Amino acid sequence: MAEPIRVVVTGAAGQIAYSLLYSIAKGDVFGKDQPIILILLDIPPMLPVLDGVVMELQDCALPLLREVIPTDKVEVGFKDIDAAILVGSMPRKEGMERKDLLKANVAIFKTQGAALDKYAKKTVKVLVVGNPANTNCLIASKSAPSIPKENFSCLTRLDHNRACSQVAMRCGVSSNNVKNVIIWGNHSSTQYPDVHHAKVNVGGAEKAAYDAVKNDAWLRGDFISTVQQRGAAVIKARKLSSAMSAAKAICDHMRDIWFGTKEVSVCRKEIKL
Ligand code: NAX
């Protein structure tokens, strides 16, 4: 069996991490034969919570999980890591100005970027989830100049999955029959879900999304607003923000970065030939 890889998840005591850690530890992201050392990073007041998460991971008795290391120190968290999933960030509190939120997050992602630069493997793949994800990702990348900038990406896959699923449900097919959906913009209500290049496989025949859906008004109206406002709708219903679906999207995103997508694999093969 392969040598274990080291994977850090920040915000590890939070609600997304609670779903995410289990999926990573059971092999959904890095492969079913890839042993893993999981490092759980959070802030000092959350260390007792992390102890509970560690106990639960141990109690899952997962064969791929070789070690779990809880910590509040970046020098421990980022040491020799192969993959970093940066979920933890400062949430917007009541009465907080956008600039105050940005200031708090700049400090977090500068520190974590510098720690990646100093302690992580140069091949590390970094996925930023904590919002504002695009800005935080840019800051982390700029603070880690010795790591190639293409190793950094941030999460838009949840919006992508939401869009694919909406189209799939409309067409009565499963979501893996929908491809080439694009999300333009930030992970916010100003994003633009774009299906102009999307294809849907209906009963074995690949069709343009507009031909498969056969409802242009829906695609131009409710489809877009549903995807744009899905996060708010989940909060309204659950009284908590998306966690299970966010964790699934993180897994999809990191797995595709790690292994490549089907289309990319085909391209690579073609280049080799
Ligand atoms: P939680 O509040 O449940 O958990 C966040 C955790 O991060 C807490 O345990 C907190 O102590 C920790 N934390 C804060 N500062 C930290 C630091 N400097 N180092 C390490 N840990 C730190 O939030 P959760 O629901 O898990 O969401 C986490 C983040 O994901 C939020 O910023 C949220 O906005 C963002 N999301 C981003 C999405 C995207 O598509 N880009 C979708 C899902 C999610 O909303």
From the list 160, 187, 196, 253, the catalytic residue is: 187
Closest-lying ligand 1 atom to the alpha carbon of residue 16: 26
* pLDDT on residue 26: 97
User: Which has the minimum average pLDDT: 15-24, 84-93, 262-271?
Assistant: 262-271
* pLDDT on residue 273: 38
How many angstroms is it from 243 CA to the middle of ligand 1? 10
Question: Quick one: 111 exposed, middle or buried, by C-beta within 10 A (0-12, 13-18, 19+)?
Answer: middle
CB neighbour list of residue 140: distance below 8 Å, 6 or more residues apart: 86, 109, 110, 112, 113, 116, 126, 128, 152
Minimal-distance CA residue to ligand 1 atom 18: 108
| CB of 243 sitting under 6 A from ligand 1 | yes
pLDDT band for position 264 (cuts 50, 70, 90): low
pLDDT band for position 149 (cuts 50, 70, 90): very high
Minimal-distance CA residue to ligand 1 atom 6: 11
* pLDDT on residue 271: 46
How many angstroms is it from 54 CA to the middle of ligand 1? 18
pLDDT > 90 in the chain, percent:
87
267 pLDDT more than 80 = no
Is 253 an annotated catalytic residue? no
pLDDT of 153-205, one tens digit each? Answer: 999 999 999 999 999 999 999 999 999 999 999 888 899 999 999 999 999 99
Closest-lying ligand 1 atom to the alpha carbon of residue 11: 7
- Domain covering 157-259, topology: L-2-Hydroxyisocaproate Dehydrogenase; Chain A, domain 2 (3.90.110)
Q: CATH says 5-154 is which class?
A: alpha beta
CB neighbour list of residue 124: distance below 8 Å, 6 or more residues apart: 81, 82, 83, 84, 116, 147, 151
Most distant CA atoms of the chain, gap in Å: 59
| CB of 113 sitting under 6 A from ligand 1 | no
* pLDDT on residue 272: 47
Domain locations along the chain? 5-154, 157-259
pLDDT of 103-119, one tens digit each? Answer: 889 999 999 999 999 99
Cis ω before 63 (30° cut-off from 0)? no
| CB of 130 sitting under 6 A from ligand 1 | yes
Cβ–Cβ under 8 Å, residues 77 and 10: yes
CB neighbour list of residue 170: distance below 8 Å, 6 or more residues apart: 213, 215, 218, 223
